[in-house]
Amino acid sequence: MKLCPNCGKPSEWQDNPHRPFCSERCKLVDLGKWVNEEYRVPGKPVLDQPDEAGEDREAPVGDRRRGSGE
């Protein structure tokens, strides 16, 4: 039996529609963390729209999050 990556409880793998999570709730909590940018995938910086010179520039971190109050 595997452990749920969200809450750590044992989670059935076979015939579990929410796997690897133990429940729909844990699955949605994890999705919410991705949506709120609590998880990040390593990679190159996100580029903003080209400026007037036609060059890409890195977007300031505060511009990447909407409604965060930053």
Residue 1 binned pLDDT confidence (cut-offs 50, 70, 90): confident
Q: Which residues contact 18 (CB under 8 A, 6 or more apart)?
A: 11, 24, 26, 27
For residue 7, the model assigns a pLDDT of: 96
Is 0.75 topped by the overall pTM? no
Cβ distance 12 to 1 under 8 Å? yes
pLDDT 10s digits, 36-66: 989 888 888 777 766 666 555 555 555 554 5
Give the chain's domains with CATH numbers: 1-40 (3.30.50.10)
